[in-house]
Amino acid sequence: MSLQMSEAEGAVKVEEWQQTFYAPDSGIQSGATTIRDEDSVSASAGENATDLEAQYSLTRAQRVRAAMFPETLVEGETALTAHSNPDQPTNVQRLAEPSQLLKTAIVHLINYQDDAELATRAVPELTKLLADEDQVVVNKAALIVNQLTRKEASRRVLMQSPQMVSAVVRAMQNTGDLETARCAASVLHSLSHQREGLLAIFKSGGIPALVRMLSSPMESVLFYAITTLHNLLLHQEGAKMAVRLADGLQRMVPLLKKTNPKFLAITTDCLQLLSYGNQESKLIILANGGPESLVFIMRNHNYEKLLWTTSRVLKVLSVCPSNKPAIVDAGGMQALGQHLTGSSQRLTQNCLWTLRNLSDAATKQEGLDGLLQILVSQLGSDDVNMLTCATGILSNLTCNNARNKALVTQSGGVEALIHAVLRAGEKEDVAEPAVCALRHLTSRHPDAELAQNAVRLHYGIPAITKLLGQPHYWPVVKATVGLIRNLALCPANQAPLRESGTIPRLVNLLLKAHQETQRHGSGAQQTYQDGVRMEEIVEGCTGALHILARDPINRGEIASMQTIPLFVQLLYSYVENIKRVSAGVLCELALDKQCAEMIDAEGASAPLMELLHSPNEGIATYAAAVLFRISEDKSSDYRKRVSVELTHSLFKHDPAAWEMAHAAMPLDPGYIPDDLDVVYPPYGYSDLPMDGLPLDAELHEQYMPEMTYDPRQVYPNPL
């Protein structure tokens, strides 16, 4: 018994001993032969070497075949690689790659041929089934055709069969089953990704059917229909006209009430494609409430692609005279202004162009304070397109709007516009609207004098005067002349204007423009350069010299340039406003006795007497003042005759004033109005490209003038 216990305890001890540091059996219990460790290692190494030699005994051809065509290996057999790093391919594996690609291509080709053969055999039968009277049969057939379109080979076979495409179209529009309609619409959607498929859909009359599907209650049908129509509009010639004829616009505009942003992005892009360059389409969108829905999207969505496509539609509509007020009234200016900061460049650029086009219809719009401040900040941009739009919008929004003028002035707009003019250089598309905006800010609002002083304090006078001397782009010249006139209203600006050489430049422009008008003779044929009538330049330069002549030193310089004969000649002009400003400048010059004598010597009395009877009160008043001043050194009888003529002409329609005038003193020169504005009719110029997309060729928008409609001007017709 004790012997058995000792044997059991020995076995346990051997197991414990093996589990500590000694893996091999000592042989005490098992009787195994005991060998040294180094003998064991050398023996196992010899065995491994033998195995490796056996594995490498495979020929090179076998290893190459195993790499290139692994399917030829016997099951369970693997080819040995001589590569130590499994993460990097061996040379044999690199050489095998082309053959593997070729094998894959062959497999695909076999499958493609199988798909094509299957579809070719199935098409005639499926075409018949799609025309079956049993709607269940039609549904199953449509389901099978839909499955076939998911593979390229069978899809190509289907689109090459006009009968099949026509059958799908008929099934889609005739069925009352929504699932059948969904399958058919899905088929057309799949076909529309190839030009051949688009042509097949177009020829089979698919467009009217797809347009009808836009009224489907099923969302997936709507998606397939609008996406297929979108592909057709983009790539199929004649599709736009077909959609219009099928009343596609009338079906699409109500879809803008949907909430899915991706669906809306496709829908709005369809509207842009249909309305671009087509006035009738723009009016249909308007009649169906399009502007309001588009503005709602701009205000309430944040999906960038949707905002971008919507802004493209609004940009096209913004050149339509009928859509403009509708967009503005719907809050379009404010909604577009939301995206001028923190948005993608393409969205910001579209919003800016649209705002520029709308801005002449928004001069009375309220709630634009934030937009105006953003525009002032954007005047610091180095982007020419952004600068062009910002200056143009500010020019229009400050036209005849005292509140906007004051806000822009208080927001540092004068300084920003001057810097824009300096950076613009010879870029007329920036210089012209920037100068126009400055012209608006410097007249007819409570802070006008502040703006006039700000131009001087920010060193703007030399830069502005320089615009008169560079190679003449007449719209810029016309705007600059009007700005100089406004600046001259501030007495502190008179000397700086004189010192910057304004007077000789104005006189030279006046002479040049007058010569152009004389060359064309009578007023029946007006002289245009760069779209500007030379009569407007004559009027503007004379009006600016009129205000500058309030300063005695300026008065002497103007007279010294032999201008009086020209001013007297201009009294005979057929243009009312030229007569008025000519009489006005002569009125100022006549304050100087020597100038008064020169005016009289040029025979001004005769035309001035005639102008006393002018229905234009300004002309008659100025003429009376000049006559009074040049008669001061004449005999008392002459002065009395002039006085009688003056009172008779000025008060002939007012008997009470007539009686008072006989007992009154002669006309007080100080009564003459001195704040008459120069008329500047609208002008226009073309857009600059904004992004990679083609720019609307029709996006040419005129800036509003700082004056009312001028019946003498031939205005461009709206596009």
Q: What confidence tens digit (pLDDT) does each residue in 223-234 have?
A: 999 999 999 999
pLDDT at residue 125, as a whole number: 82
d(CA 394, CA 363): 10
Collect contacts of 406-410 with beta carbons under 8 A, ≥24 apart: 406/445, 406/446, 406/447, 407/369, 407/372, 407/373, 408/372, 408/376, 408/437, 408/441, 409/441, 409/445, 409/447, 409/450, 409/451, 409/454, 410/447
Nearest to 706 by CA among 448, 495, 524: 448
Nearest to 160 by CA among 108, 114, 116, 130: 116
pLDDT at residue 151, as a whole number: 81
pLDDT at residue 114, as a whole number: 47
**pLDDT tens across 196-210, in order?**
999 999 999 999 999
Nearest to 539 by CA among 573, 562, 565, 490: 573
First to last CA, the chain: 122
Helix (H) or strand (E) holding 313, with range, is helix 304-317
Taken in order 260, 263, 268, 269, the sign of the CA dihedral is positive
Domains and CATH numbers, the chain: 2-27+35-60 (no CATH), 112-246 (1.25.10.10), 503-671 (1.25.10.10)
436-451: b (≥16 Cβ within 10 Å) or e:
bbbbbbbbebebbebb
pLDDT at residue 718, as a whole number: 30
The single-letter DSSP state of residue 689 is P
pLDDT at residue 129, as a whole number: 87
The CB-side HSE value for 454 (13 A sphere, CA atoms) comes to: 23
CB atoms inside a 10 Å sphere around CB 177: 15
pLDDT at residue 449, as a whole number: 96
Give CA angle at 501 (496, 503), nearest 5°.
95
Looking up tokens 């006005």 gives: 584
Residue 449, phi-psi category: left (phi > 0), alpha (psi -120 to 50), beta (remainder): alpha
Weakly modelled stretches of the chain, pLDDT under 70? 1-119, 470, 521-525, 633-719
d(CA 149, CA 228): 14
Report CA dihedral (309, 354, 530, 277) to the nearest 10 degrees: 40
- Residues 6 or more apart from 552 whose CB is under 8 A from it? 592
Q: How far is CA 347 from CA 12, 259, 314, in A?
A: 84, 20, 12
- Residues 6 or more apart from 165 whose CB is under 8 A from it? 158, 159, 188, 191, 200, 201, 203, 204, 206
Taken in order 441, 447, 453, 454, the sign of the CA dihedral is negative
d(CA 129, CA 131): 5
**Helix/strand/coil (H, E, C) string of 534-557?**
HHHHHHHHHHHHHHHCCCHHHHHH
pLDDT at residue 491, as a whole number: 96
